[in-house]
Structure 1
Amino acid sequence: MRKSGASLESVPELIARWTAHLGLSVEAKPAPSGDEEAFPNRLSVSGPDAGWLAADRGAGLDALQFLVHEAQGEREDHKLAYLDVKGARLFRMQEVMAMGRFAAEKARELGSHTLGALSARERRWVHLVVSREEGLGTESEGVGTFKPVRVFRK
């Protein structure tokens, strides 16, 4: 088991320091997601250079988040910091959870409904939203990083 490293409270300072070494001016502040079970410990990254992190489908933000998670040394979702720029990830969470609710409605009506390929985090959101519905289940199908999710009546 990995030892804990940087605390959640120290992450905003780490982000500011690391991005400053890259010549970027950004800051990170805690910002509620509205659903802490689905998107815990959201840190909103803003500043004149925050857009650079969001460019190329958030590749820079993904890299920075990976480094933050490594510095934290945790593997439990509720203890890790999750970065967001301009609310893009929050919007995606809301969008995927709405897709999950739609799939739940279709599964009740038709018996099952399959959503297209989703990332691991997106699949987790669908599993979470459907788990809140009585009489329905979910399963990821296939192999690989991006997989479809089937919602079905139990």
Structure 2
Amino acid sequence: MRKSGASLESVPELIARWSAHLGLVVEVKAAPSGDEEAFPNRLAISGPDAGRFAADRGVALDALQFLVHEAQGEREDQKLAYLDVKGVRLFRMQEVMAMGRFAADRARELGSHTLGALSPRERRWVHLVVSREEGLGTESEGTGTFKPVKVFRK
């Protein structure tokens, strides 16, 4: 087990300090996602330089997310901070969960439906939304980081 580091409450100040060292002016505040089970502890990054983290498909935001998780030293989703800029990740969560509901409807109708390759977090969202549906199951298929998800009747 990893030793605990930065608390969830200290993460906004930590991000602002790291950003200031890079010459970036950002503000970080807690912002509920509307579905805390799927997207817990959402921290919204705003300010004049926040868009830099969203550039290039969010590569800098992914790197910052990794550093924050390392600083926190946690591995439980409910204790980790999850970063968002301009609502991009919140929108993606809502989009993927809608895809999961669509796949659930198709699986009820046809017996199964397979969604294209998704990242681990996106697959988790699909598994979560389908688990809330009666009589359906999910399964990730294949190998690698990005995998398809099959939704099927039990």
TM-score interval for Structure 1 and Structure 2 normalised by the shorter chain: over 0.9
Structure 2: distance between partners of 1:63 and 1:28 = 16
The match for 1:31 is 31
Matching residue of 1:113:
113
CA distance in 1, matches of 2:145, 2:23: 32
Q: Deviations over 1:16-70 (max 9, x none)?
A: 0001001100111000000000000000000000000000000000000100000
Q: Supply the distance in 2 between the matched residues of 1:63 and 1:146 (Cα, whole angstroms).
A: 18
**Structure 1: unaligned runs, 5 residues or longer:** none
Q: 1:55-134, aligned counterparts within 5 Å?
A: 55-134=55-134
1:138 aligns with 2:138: yes
3-state DSSP class of the match of 2:25? coil
Query: 2:147 maps to which residue?
Result: 147
Provide, for residues 97-124 of structure 1, a one-character-per-residue CA deviation record: whole Å limited to 9, x for no partner. Answer: 0000000000000000000000000000
Task: Determine the C-alpha separation between the residues in 2 that align with 1:18 and 1:121.
Answer: 25
Mapped to 2, the partners of 1:74 and 1:28 lie a distance apart of: 20
Give the residue type in structure 2 aligned to 1:8: L
What stretches of structure 1 move > 3 A for 4+ residues in a row? none
Q: Kindly, what percent of the aligned residue pairs are identical?
A: 89
TM-score, scaled to structure 1? 1.00
Length, aligned pairs only: 154
Find the counterpart in structure 1 of residue 4 from structure 2. 4
Q: What is the TM-score with the length of structure 2 in the denominator?
A: 1.00
Q: Any unmatched runs of 5+ in structure 2?
A: none
How well do the aligned residues superpose, as a CA RMSD in angstroms? 0.3
Q: Match of 2:114, as an amino acid?
A: T
